[in-house]
């Protein structure tokens, strides 16, 4: 039976949790746990992508099949959702931007085409500069290469605060990859027979 790394049902379960959270953007959001659901969603999707990559590295699935699986996860995440309220919708759009970096970084890593030499901090700085010049494609391209290297095991350097922008949202996705790489690595050995996670 073909392994399912991520399902529409799983994503819709998360969307129901977002709806139930009645999320509101407030100054006191640090004390508002409703925002935590978006972090859990990010982690869940990142781990699914890393699981695909682990299967590919163990030659359980071929690279082209792994890329197709990442695209499948992306299509689930980027499908149109019903509105869950203005604040929740804004957070979800931000989350999807962050996850876009995860998907392209994953594909780059699988293909193996990315800059392996330039200092990561320098690449992030170039991405910020590119966005300031409104060259969003260049910013995205650079950050997806940073993400690929993080998947490859490199540590993300201390970047400091980035003003709110697309680069900052993309870096959130790469930070999530970095955190997952440092966390529980059972996804590397898990055979995929049991679907665990907070959404079920």
For residue 192, pLDDT over 60 is answered with no
Q: Mean pLDDT, to the nearest integer, of 11-35?
A: 78
51-100 per-position pLDDT tens digit: 999 999 999 999 999 999 999 999 999 999 888 889 999 999 999 999 99
CA dihedral angle for residue 9, residue 40, residue 144, residue 160, rounded to 10 degrees: 170
Calculate ∠ Cα 84-90-91, nearest 5°. 90
Listed by start position, the domains of the chain span 8-23+34-188
- CA 99 to each of CA 59, 107, 151, 162: distance values in angstroms, whole numbers, following the listed order: 25, 12, 14, 18
pLDDT bracket for residue 194 (50, 70, 90): very low
pLDDT tens digits, residue range 99-131?
999 999 999 999 999 999 999 999 999 999 999
**Percent of the chain with pLDDT strictly greater than 70:** 86
Residue (of 53, 39, 69, 77) closest to 172 by Cα position: 39
pLDDT score, position 198:
43
Rounded Cα distance, 49 and 67, in Å? 10
Cβ–Cβ under 8 Å, residues 30 and 84: no
As given in the structure block, the two tokens for residue 134 are 């409104």
Rg (the chain; Cα; Å)? 17
């Amino acid at each position: 039976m073909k392994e399912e790394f991520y399902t529409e049902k799983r994503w819709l379960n998360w969307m129901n949790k977002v709806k139930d959270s009645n999320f509101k953007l407030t100054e006191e959001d640090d004390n508002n746990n409703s925002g935590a659901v978006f972090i859990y969603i990010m982690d869940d999707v990142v781990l699914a992508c890393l699981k695909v990559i682990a299967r590919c590295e163990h030659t359980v699935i071929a690279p082209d099949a792994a890329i197709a699986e990442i695209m499948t996860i992306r299509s689930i995440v980027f499908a149109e959702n019903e509105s869950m309220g203005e604040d929740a919708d804004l957070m979800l759009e931000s989350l999807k931007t962050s996850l876009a970096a995860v998907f392209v970084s994953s594909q780059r890593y699988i293909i193996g085409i990315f800059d392996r030499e330039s200092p990561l901090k320098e690449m992030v700085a170039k991405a910020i500069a590119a966005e300031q010049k409104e060259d969003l494609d260049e910013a995205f391209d650079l950050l997806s290469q940073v993400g690929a290297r993080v998947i490859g095991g490199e540590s993300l350097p201390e970047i400091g605060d980035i003003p709110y922008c697309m680069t900052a949202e993309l870096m959130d996705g790469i930070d999530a990859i970095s955190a997952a790489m440092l966390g529980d690595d059972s996804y590397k050995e898990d055979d995929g027979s049991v679907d665990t996670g907070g959404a079920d």
